[in-house]
Amino acid sequence: MGFLSGKRIVITGIASNHSIAYGIAKVMYREGASLAFSYQNNRLKERIEKLSTEFESNIVLPCDVSDDKSIETFFVKLSATWENFNGFIHAIAYSPPSQLQGDFIDVVNRQDYAMTHDISAYSFVAMAKISRNMLMENASLVTLTYLGSERAIPYYNVMGTAKAALEANTRYLAYSMGRKGIRVNAISAGPIRTVAASGIKNFKKMLSYYKESTPLRRSISLEEIGNVAAFLCSDLSSGITGEIIHVDGGFNITAINIEGE
Ligand code: NAD
């Protein structure tokens, strides 16, 4: 019996089988969780319906997190099958492509800043707020963040500021929801080649620098992120909330890589 058996978890943010959320779903299924899936729009519907069969799930519903009505409808429809549930994975981020290409001061503007923060940071709070009456007492919420929140990383730009807000949201939600026994944590993942990541200029360069410089001298896998997400949604982590856990092979503890000739 897996350590998530009996848990019902909502998985957001699958765009393909390279998505971090897909890796998380795989591990959660392995550990016995029942899963429900959301997809952003009709373009992804068929693909997510097909992927969900791998996890023996027939709960696949649309949810565009830029719209409170869409989030509300998602949870109302979910409640027809699940009256309550044990948590969700928020694996969603978006910034207009131009924001992830140039120099921060040149490309940043009010409109794109607001959109990036709305979809990549506020949506975590919106999902928690709208679903709170369906969340069980020991529920666990997990979001995905990146080191660009703590350090200035070329081309990550406004997404870095949104991830900083997302991490602060994690702490405020943890404090606010803790009195009901609900835990809220974030995983700061090392770089993984996904649709979202490929929008960041020089992402391949980032990945190879990371592989050479990280203490483990390799990239991390979807399964390694999935294992930590599953742990955070399980009772094994019952004393942990408000944390940002780095699953990055230790990259965040390093400074400069001066090895070599
Ligand atoms: P991905 O492209 O596979 O997933 C991003 C998801 O966000 C997609 O499924 C997309 O449909 C969804 N999304 C975007 N706008 C949405 C909206 N308005 N409503 C609903 N869904 C929306 O990429 P990924 O890398 O798996 O990203 C998942 C999370 O992991 C993101 O928060 C990302 O910032 C974070 N992350 C990624 C990396 C990396 O290197 N790939 C590293 C650290 C953190």
- The pairing of strands 60-62 and 85-90 is unpaired
The pLDDT value recorded for residue 221 is: 97
pLDDT along the chain (261 residues), means of 10: 96 97 98 98 97 97 98 98 98 97 97 98 99 97 98 97 99 98 98 93 92 94 98 98 98 90 79
State yes or no: is 175 an active-site residue: no
Q: Of all atoms in ligand 1, which is nearest to the CA of residue 146?
A: 43
Exposed/middle/buried for residue 3 (C-beta within 10 Å: 0-12, 13-18, 19+): middle
In the block, tokens 């089988």 appear at: 17
The pLDDT value recorded for residue 256 is: 86
Query: Structural domains in the chain?
Result: 8-253 (3.40.50.720)
The pLDDT value recorded for residue 130 is: 98
Q: Of all atoms in ligand 1, which is nearest to the CA of residue 190?
A: 42
State yes or no: is 156 an active-site residue: yes
pTM of the model: 0.98
Give the pair of three-digit tokens for residue 55.
């996890």
From ligand 1's centre to the CA of 120, what distance in Å?
9
The pLDDT value recorded for residue 120 is: 98
Q: For residues 7 and 2, give the distance between their C-alpha atoms in angstroms, rounded to a whole number.
A: 10
Helix axes 123-131, 157-177, angle to 10 degrees: 30
From ligand 1's centre to the CA of 259, what distance in Å?
33
Q: For residues 101 and 66, give the distance between their C-alpha atoms in angstroms, rounded to a whole number.
A: 23
